[in-house]
Amino acid sequence: MRIFLFILLFSLCSCRSSHKIQQRGVYLSARYELDTSPDRCTKATQSETWAVVIGINNYLDNGIPNLTGAAQDAWNFYHYLTHKYGGLVDPRRVKLLINERATKANIDESLGGFLTKACPKDQVIIYFAGHGAPEPDRPDDAFLLTHDSQLNKLVSTALSMNQLPQFLTWRANSTGQLLFIVDACHSGAILFPGSRGFTPVGNKLRAIEQLRAKSLLSSISTVSKTQKGWGVISSSAPDQVSGEGGGDCKIGDHRYIGGVFTCSLLKAINDHSDEDGDGKLSYDELFESISSKLSHLRGSAQVPQRSGNLSGRTSIFQTPKFPIPIPPIAERYTKDYSKKPYRPWLWSTLAATTLGTGLALYFQKSANQHTLKLNQFLDDNIGNKTKNAYEAQSLKRDQSISQSKWSYLSAGLLGITTGAIAFFDWQNRPPPTFEAYQKAPSFYVGTLEDTL
């Protein structure tokens, strides 16, 4: 009987585990055992793809305006890469850094630690969606801004485009093929220290944005020139500003929320872009398709650029065998959960509850001591001489008992209040990411409607 119950319990747990994997879909499931042995690069195995995908909507520095679609761009691109009908990249070979996870330290670790596992035969893809800006006093040194970048400390808190080539060459120089995709918004509304809170508008804003774009994109173009087989696709020309918000960009029937460039990138991944019909998109085919779709959307206002030594015949992406469902972005990435409105009240009521409980215990101990003294009066049976002292001691005991009761009552009420606030604080937590995979897809990549 016990054996039967054990088998039944094991079967139920197995079914539940399988159900969870199915809920998460085909995006995040590992398809084979990951080979991390030191001699993997010398084995006669197929090449692999490694990727770091970064998208930042929210910035801690108040001088950096938040974006609305960069996190969605990274999320969508990641799910194409890891889908079994899409990029077919094992998710364990991909780092997804969105918003609060896209700190300077995490990005440095991903580029300088995670990518060192790639072999010379492997492909590396780095995708960045977010803000880019030059240093005010040194416009030739441009930076990609991380979630925790500080405008008065860009050198130590942002990703320097001048230093990035040396950094990647030093840490990932064994990589034979590297593609850097940059959808950076070089906003003129970024308020550097010393700007006295003045936000430029009109032609002045446009001029600042163009100056920052020129500095940023000229720095980006140098990233891939230092290494053979490395290339960069950037979202716009140096004198242009990358559009955000999707505009009129639609994927199927879905009005895209995010960068116009990334929307065009996802629309480009279909059979129509595969001109030679080999089931893969070459560097040339991908860039030409992106350019065509961006031109259709924005004309000459935003023209993508490419640079580097990556051959145009190099295969970059798989063309989808079937339309790829892209789940809606997890809610934790669309709302700012860093603010805890209930947390100050929670700590205050918790401290008050602790203080009330401490006072209640103190008064109870005092009442017990007074009771012991009263008992001693009765045991000694001294007589009328101590009647006044006895009455005074009795009054102190009654006062301590009363104070202890009120303290316990206050502590109880504060405890209930603390529990209620803790519940609201718990309710304000970000929902689990897997819930996004239980919803209907937002749109599909690789549909026939995306040929234009």
- The set of residues, in sequence order, having a beta carbon less than 8 Å from that of 90 and lying 6+ positions away, is 30, 31, 32, 34, 48, 82
Strand partners, 50: 124
Phi, psi of 163 (to 5 degrees): -90, -15
CATH of segment(s) 47-335+441-451: 3.40.50.1460
Task: Check residue 25 and give left, alpha or beta (phi > 0: left; psi -120 to 50: alpha).
Answer: left
pLDDT at position 384: 57
Give ∠ CA 420-426-431 in degrees, rounded to 5: 150
Nearest alpha carbon to residue 321 among 84, 56, 145: 84
DSSP string, 43-101: SS----EEEEEEE----SSTTSPPPSSHHHHHHHHHHHHTSTTTT---GGGEEEEEGGG
- The set of residues, in sequence order, having a beta carbon less than 8 Å from that of 333 and lying 6+ positions away, is 57, 71, 72, 75, 98, 99
Is the entire prediction scored with pTM above 0.85?
A: no
Strand partners, 170: none
Q: How far apart are CA 452 and CA 450, in angstroms?
A: 5
If one compares 221 and 194, the residue with the highest pLDDT of the two is 221
Tokens 């203080």, residue? 355
pLDDT at position 375: 76
pLDDT tens sequence across 69-100: 899 999 999 999 999 888 888 898 999 999 98
Phi, psi of 305 (to 5 degrees): -125, 155
pLDDT tens sequence across 106-126: 998 988 888 888 888 888 899
Angle between helices 387-427 and 343-380 (to 10 degrees): 160
- The set of residues, in sequence order, having a beta carbon less than 8 Å from that of 157 and lying 6+ positions away, is 104, 146, 148, 149, 150
Angle between helices 164-172 and 104-112 (to 10 degrees): 40
Q: How many CB atoms lie within 10 A of CB 1?
A: 5
Which of 78-92, 213-227, 406-420 has the weakest average pLDDT?
213-227
pLDDT at position 427: 79
Q: How far apart are CA 249 and CA 272, in angstroms?
A: 18
- Joined tokens for residue 436: 């996004």
pLDDT tens sequence across 266-280: 988 876 788 887 888
Q: How far apart are CA 163 and CA 222, in angstroms?
A: 10
